[in-house]
Amino acid sequence: MKAKAGDRIVVESERAGQPARTGVIEEVVSGEPPRYRVRWDDRHTSTFTPSSGAAQIKKAVGAKRS
């Protein structure tokens, strides 16, 4: 699934017992490999490149996909 600005991202923790990290994609910086500018729920912002299978993208409510 391709991510767009406004979509939510959920990244599973690499450590057992730690919660997943969640945030909102503010910008798609690059499509290949995918790089996103994410505002995390803790209010920090970073550029994130997900590794294979490490992130789930949940499309924004009401968003249309082309």
pLDDT in tens, 27-61: 999 988 899 999 999 999 999 998 877 789 999 88
Measured CA to CA, the distance from residue 63 to residue 51 in angstroms comes to 25
pLDDT attached to residue 64:
59
What is the 3-class SS of 29-65, one letter each residue?
EEECCEEEEEEECCCCEEEECCCCCCEEEECCCCCCC
Measured CA to CA, the distance from residue 8 to residue 26 in angstroms comes to 9
Say if CB 23 and CB 41 are below 8 A apart: yes
Average confidence (pLDDT) over 9-27:
90
pLDDT attached to residue 63:
57
